[in-house]
């Protein structure tokens, strides 16, 4: 891991020297823009539209557009002075419960390790936070960006997660076309809750994979090997109209066949209802309902 930040956590008069490391990595597959005519990758050029020439880095400054076409300019030293003190400290402002923070606030996670002779203070803070079950709300500046942050215990390590400021969160009221307090059908609600219960399971992150990335890597390997690949277009799906049929068929799909919901007892009378629901889902979604199991033939033993 590469150190992305060095400084100290401060709470009260206690200072804990720490190093910061990225806890996550971006595994997106990046592609270049290529000139189809000759196969060369395209380069991005910093060009001034007024002078009509390419601009070198040493000629570039930073400015803020306060009106259309009007800028105030800043020297690098001015901006560095603003962040000089903030870049050195993670100042814990409060200790709170993790459940009190909505996930919408979280941005990116980093690991913190003790720096220099800060091992004892680091372990003290970690143990105290673990025993009290609290997390620290702090301020930090990373790469000239000021953020709130949540410091918490992750296994035997302190982790810090940058979080948005409240005024950076857009109000839900701005989301268009929300249904509001629309009444829902009680039977549909009961079936929806039943489906949620059927699909509920402990969180196991290892079972979730990036299917798109795996398919793309497979396609890249085939192309590198010189194979010509054609991907069949996906069939368009129509909107589900019969919600009850969709719910019923979904429940039947995740429930053991031949059991009655809640009792797990054999329920032969449900077969006709199940078939009807599957047919309703097929008509609503434009797909094909699961094939029913063939009936078993039984013969009486000869005397």
Once rounded to an integer, what is the mean pLDDT over residues 227-251?
Answer: 73
Residue 257: pLDDT band by 50, 70, 90 thresholds?
A: low
Query: Which of 13, 29, 69 minimizes the C-alpha distance to 220?
Result: 29
Q: Which domains does the chain have, with CATH numbers?
A: 3-25+81-168 (2.40.290.10), 185-197+240-287 (no CATH)
- Which band of pLDDT confidence, cut at 50, 70 and 90, is reported for residue 302? very low
User: What digits encode the pLDDT tens for the residues 162-208?
Assistant: 999 999 999 988 888 888 878 888 988 898 898 888 888 888 888 88
pLDDT above 70: percentage of residues in the chain: 80
Task: Identify the three-state secondary structure at position 123.
Answer: helix
What is the predicted pLDDT for the residue at 84? 58
Looking at residue 83, its pLDDT comes to 66
Amino acid 269: pLDDT: 43
What number is the average pLDDT over the span 11-15?
83
**Is beta strand 89-96 parallel, antiparallel or unpaired with respect to 3-11?**
parallel
Q: Which residue has the higher pLDDT, 131 or 255?
A: 131
**Which pLDDT belongs to residue 283?**
43
What's the pLDDT score for residue 77? 81
Pairing relationship of beta strands 135-142 and 145-154 according to DSSP bridges:
antiparallel
Q: Given this model, what pLDDT does residue 13 score?
A: 81
The mean pLDDT of 103-124, rounded to a whole number, is 91
User: Could you tell me the pLDDT band of residue 110, with boundaries at 50, 70 and 90?
Assistant: very high
Confidence of residue 237 (pLDDT cuts 50, 70, 90): low
Q: Compute how many other C-beta atoms are within 10 angstroms of the C-beta atom of residue 243.
A: 14
Check residue 194 and give left, alpha or beta (phi > 0: left; psi -120 to 50: alpha).
alpha
Mean of pLDDT over the chain? 80
* Nearest by Cα to 140 from 5, 1, 3, 2: 5
Q: Indicate if the pLDDT at residue 129 is higher than 90.
A: yes
3-state secondary structure 67-87: ECCEEEEECHHHHHHHHCCHH
| CA 88/CA 276 separation, integer angstroms | 67
pTM: 0.66
User: Torsions phi, psi of 173, nearest 5?
Assistant: -60, -20
Per-residue pLDDT at 267 exceeds 50 = no
Helix (H, G, I), strand (E, B) or coil at 226: coil
Q: Flag whether pLDDT at 102 surpasses 60.
A: yes
Please tell me the distance from the alpha carbon of residue 112 to that of residue 20, in angstroms, as a whole number: 5
Secondary structure of residue 284 in the 3-state scheme: helix
The pLDDT value given to residue 256: 63
How confident is residue 259, by pLDDT bands cut at 50, 70 and 90?
low
Distance, in Å, from the CA atom of 88 to the CA atom of 115, rounded to the nearest integer, reads 13
Report whether 270 contacts 211 (CB < 8 A). Answer: no
Question: Pick from 100, 102, 107: which is nearest to 149 by CA?
Answer: 107
């Amino acid at each position: 891991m590469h150190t992305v930040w060095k400084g100290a956590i401060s709470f009260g008069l206690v200072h804990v020297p720490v190093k910061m490391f990225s806890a996550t990595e971006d595994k997106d597959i990046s592609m270049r823009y290529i000139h189809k005519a000759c196969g060369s990758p395209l380069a991005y050029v910093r060009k001034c539209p007024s002078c009509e020439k390419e601009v070198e880095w040493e000629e570039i400054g930073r400015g803020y557009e306060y009106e259309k076409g009007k800028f105030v300019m800043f020297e690098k030293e001015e901006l560095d002075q603003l962040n000089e003190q903030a870049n050195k400290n993670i100042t814990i402002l409060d200790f709170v419960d993790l459940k009190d923070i909505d996930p919408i606030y979280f941005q990116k996670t980093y690991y913190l390790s003790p720096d220099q002779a800060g091992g004892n203070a680091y372990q003290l803070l970690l143990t105290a936070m673990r025993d009290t079950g609290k997390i620290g709300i702090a301020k930090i500046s990373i790469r000239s960006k000021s953020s709130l942050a949540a410091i918490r215990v992750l296994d035997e390590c302190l982790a810090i997660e940058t979080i948005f400021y409240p005024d950076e969160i857009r109000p839900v009221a701005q989301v268009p076309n929300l249904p509001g307090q629309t009444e829902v059908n009680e039977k549909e609600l009961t079936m929806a809750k039943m489906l949620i219960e059927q699909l509920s399971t402990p969180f196991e992150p290892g079972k979730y994979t990036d299917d798109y990335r795996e398919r793309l890597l497979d396609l890249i390997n085939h192309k590198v090997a010189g194979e010509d690949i054609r991907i069949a277009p996906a069939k368009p799906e129509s909107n589900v109209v019969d919600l009850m049929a969709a719910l019923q068929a979904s429940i039947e799909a995740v429930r053991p066949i031949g059991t009655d919901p809640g009792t797990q007892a054999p329920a032969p009378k449900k077969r006709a209802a199940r078939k009807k629901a599957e047919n309703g889902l097929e008509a609503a979604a434009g797909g094909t309902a699961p094939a029913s199991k063939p009936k078993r033939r039984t013969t009486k033993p000869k005397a």
